[in-house]
């Protein structure tokens, strides 16, 4: 598996086009790649994304793309990892693939010192325990706030798109959408969970976890 950083602040649309081109051009011997990037601000709507979940774009670019899922936000302070994997070659099914990505994120968060992160039934992604009354991370909180999102596309047994992990960002743009199609879903980042790290440090941990999950 090969990793590479894209230019900081890369706009979404040309990266999406490059992912599609890579996936169309690859053959059975092409190594899997992970592209790491911190995007310029953008809202993306998935293939079946509903316009009503975009509440107020506020001048932020909106791109309709071909991944699964509804609407999400990418921007500065968020690590995005595009996982360009040949699932057919690996013998991995889609549901298993989603779980493997979630495992890698949960492991990454644990490595960085965040306890209690996990899944939410029926809602792909990774969530941190949250106290709605205080509007803050709480290891014993009963509610969940989204800290990482997933969105994938499978074409001819090969995956593209991937995951995003909130590190230290302006969360206000999430109020302009129903994140992932869920009205009122709170979002959180590592800084608000008391974890201080750079995107590079988080990426290093994530790469190790992806290697561990997918190279077993």
Q: Please tell me the number of Cα atoms within 13 Å of 191 on its side-chain side.
A: 10
Give 165's strand partners: 79, 148
Count of positions (residues) in the chain: 216
Give 78's strand partners: 166
Residue pair 167/189 in contact by the 8 Å Cβ criterion:
yes
Residue 77 per-residue DSSP state: T
Gap between the Cα atoms of 164 and 166, Å rounded: 7
**First-to-last CA distance in the chain?**
12
Q: Which residues are catalytic?
A: 180
The pair of structure tokens assigned to 64 is 């309709």
**In 10 A of CB 137, how many CB atoms?**
24
Residue showing tokens 């592209």: 35
């Amino acid at each position: 598996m090969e990793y590479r950083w894209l230019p900081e602040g890369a706009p979404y649309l040309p990266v999406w086009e490059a992912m599609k081109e890579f996936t169309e051009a690859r053959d059975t011997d092409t190594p899997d790649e992970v592209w790491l990037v911190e995007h310029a601000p953008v809202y993306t709507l998935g293939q079946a994304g509903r316009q009503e979940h975009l509440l107020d774009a506020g001048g932020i670019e909106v791109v309709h793309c071909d991944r699964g899922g509804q609407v999400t936000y990418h921007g500065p302070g968020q690590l995005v990892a595009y996982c360009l994997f040949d699932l057919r070659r690996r013998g991995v099914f889609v549901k298993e693939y989603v779980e493997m990505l979630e495992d890698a994120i949960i492991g990454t968060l644990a490595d960085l010192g965040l306890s209690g992160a996990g899944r939410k039934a029926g809602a792909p992604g990774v969530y941190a325990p949250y106290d709605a009354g205080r509007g803050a991370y709480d290891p014993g909180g009963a509610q969940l706030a989204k800290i990482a999102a997933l969105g994938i596309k499978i074409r001819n047994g090969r995956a593209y798109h991937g995951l995003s992990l909130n590190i230290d960002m302006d969360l206000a743009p999430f109020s302009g959408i129903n994140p992932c199609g869920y009205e009122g879903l709170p979002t959180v980042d590592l800084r608000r969970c008391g974890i201080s790290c750079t995107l590079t440090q988080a990426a290093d941990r994530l790469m190790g976890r992806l290697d561990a999950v997918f190279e077993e």
